[in-house]
Chain A
Amino acid sequence: MSGNNRQPPVIDPTNPTGNLTRTKIRSAWLFLIPMLVLLALVAGWPLLRTIWFGFTDASFSDLTTTQFIGFANYLEYDEGEWYGVLADELWWRSVWNTLFFTLVTVSVELILGMMIALTLNCQFPLRGLVRAAILIPWAIPTIVSARMWNWMLHDQFGIVNHMLMSIGLIDAPLSWTADADLSMWAVIMVDIWKTTPFMALLLLAALQMLPGDCYEAAKIDGIHPVKVFFKVTLPLIMPALLVAVIFRALDALRVFDVIYVLTSNSADTMSMSVYARQQLVEFQDVGYGSAASTLLFLIIALLVIAYLYLGRHQLNRID
């Protein structure tokens, strides 16, 4: 490869007894240890503790004198009544809310993101400017965007009601964040605004890696662009699209900030994270809240495992 006369020592990865390789592997572990210790301390150990707390009656003010109470936080039958997270209607409501939120936001973001990505994939004079513009929602802190929309959706003085009324879509102002039927849609709208750019950029990156020649061929054959999109483009970017969807879905399943700031602890929009945090911090019931957190973790972990199993061949490519 190189025209260098000095031969580098042969490092044979298939021969682990090589002296150099061994030193290298030893130093590799030394290099890894700080990161692994930090991750264990900040993620691994706390997760194990949370799972443990889920089986105890711990409270936020006192985490030391806790008692093991088995599955009572999850489900318990006492004097003719069921107790525990799994018997709590509000928990199931928050599960449903979270799933609904995830399904709607990710689908809409996918469609909008695809439209934006296809637009930005064309050559036109203002392309850089548009790309910078769509990064703005992504960069704005979720809290700030939630508060901006909170004001725009204000029931009396909000600009959204004003706009809708002036074009005649509604007769009277709507109370977006308080109305039980509307508040989930308000949350969904804000999330779509905030995270569509991320989706669009991932899809755009995939589009820009496509080979140009098959498009030339399709153009010469006079195939309709819509058909080209579904028959050529979509299958080619499918792997990247799936990664983007999974990233977004996992993010949506743990949603907290936008719901907490827009609608506080309202049952109409409560997500699993909001539910667990309310139990943990506001009701100080660490045992019960940890049980809910563990369930959320299990749901997400199952999805990740399913995804890794399905996308195994793709991840193998990294090595």
Chain B
Amino acid sequence: MFNPTPQQILSKQAKKLLGKLAFYGLVLLIILFSTFPFYYAIVTSMKTSSQLFEVNYWVEQVNWKNYLTVLNQEAFISSIGNSVLIATLVVLVSMLFGLTAAYALGRVHFKGRGPLMLIILGVSMFPQVAVLSGLFEVIRALNIYNNPMALVFSYTIFTLPFTVWILTTFIKQLPKELEEAALVDGATPWLTLFKVFMPLLWPAMATTGLLAFIAAWNEFLFALTFTLTDDQRTVPVAIALISGGSAYELPWGIIMAASVIVTVPLVILVLIFQRRIVSGLTSGAVKG
């Protein structure tokens, strides 16, 4: 090879710099693309209704009036209460049922295990509308229509499959010796699961719990169909139904304030637990 002239060295450096610049430009674009709508919701939520008529990119002045309006609405407060209650119970129920099932599926070899896993995976692919009328009938029969329990019950249709699937993947990776030692000591399977496996499964349980909580918090179709009165609504339905006092009033300040209120806890959860969430989201797909 010939010796590069100073100009060539310079252009090579320029090229490198340009490449770096382009790369960071792309990174910036990705951040903007992901966060701008949420940022703009915050900007809008701080506006008075007359300021909504002009577009601003920054918060001109901090104004909490929309937040106060929303938080003074009894229906909105009760919808937050309902959502917290429902999401928490959904996590507990799917954890309990999922753990026992995952133990059986992950630690015991029996016939029909593979097909069973496939059926469970199949349920998670169900279009929710396909069970809507049948589920409505079951909920009526259980006498829980227009009751948070109807949603706790129906949400297990999508939280249970991935809870079972992820926990099974994790429980399978635990060393065999643990269980054998417990068996020798005469522990029942129940004890083995709760005393031996559960302490080791906390990370996986935290992951699935978070995913189940977020899924239950965000669900819309069942919540819209199985509740009737404002005091039984969940947050997504409440936000979907907010409209202006009149056709001439823009309700967007209030809608965005409500949106920010229900999203901030989720965003904080995601930022704290991003590693867990990512591992949970991907463990099913990549390892499966």
Contacts and interface: CB of A to CB of B under 8 A. Distances in A.
Interface of A: 1-2, 4, 6, 8-9, 11, 13, 20, 24-25, 27-29, 31-32, 34-36, 38-39, 41-43, 45-50, 53, 58, 60, 63, 115-116, 119, 122, 124, 126, 128-145, 147-149, 151-152, 154, 157-159, 162, 193, 197-198, 201-202, 204-206, 209, 240, 243-244, 247, 250, 253-254, 256-257, 260-261, 272-273, 276-277, 280-281, 286, 289-290, 293-294, 296-297, 300-301, 304, 308, 314-316, 318-319
Contacts of B239: 141, 143-144, 147
Contact of A280 (B109, B133, B252): B133
Contacts of A47: 126, 130-131, 134
Given A8-B177, A46-B135, A293 B129 contact: yes
A11 B183 CA distance: 11
A5 to B, nearest CB: 12
Q: Is the interface of A mostly helix, strand, loop or mixed?
A: helix
A143 B274 contact: no
A120 B106 CA distance: 33
Instruction: Among B57, B122, B129, B184, find the residue whose CB has the most chain A CB atoms closer than 10 A.
Output: B129
A151 B154 contact: no
A241 to B, nearest CB: 10
A197 B154 CA distance: 27
Interface string B210-250: 00001001101100010000000001110110000000001
A198 to B, nearest CB: 7
Q: Is the interface of B mostly helix, strand, loop or mixed?
A: helix
Contacts of A154: 252
Given A13-B109, A119-B23, A256-B128, A135 B33 contact: no
A290 B133 contact: yes
Contact of A31 (B104, B120, B125, B281): B104
Contacts of A126: 27
A160 to B, nearest CB: 10
Nearest to B192: A27
B64 interface: no
Contacts of B41: 144, 148, 151
Interface string B129-172: 11111111110100000000000011011001100100000000
B259 interface: yes
Contacts of A159: 40, 55, 57
Interface residues of B, number: 103
B282 A297 contact: no
A35 B160 contact: yes
Contacts of B108: 24-25, 27-28
A28 B218 contact: no
Nearest to A41: B138
B154 A119 contact: no
Contact of B217 (A13, A141, A304): A141
17 contacts: A8-B183, A36-B101, A39-B120, A42-B156, A49-B134, A49-B137, A49-B138, A129-B31, A133-B35, A134-B30, A135-B278, A136-B267, A139-B263, A193-B33, A209-B286, A280-B132, A293-B129
A129 B267 CA distance: 13
B52 to A, nearest CB: 6
A198 B217 CA distance: 18
B284 to A, nearest CB: 9
B189 A45 contact: no
B127 interface: yes
Interface in B189-208: 189-190, 193
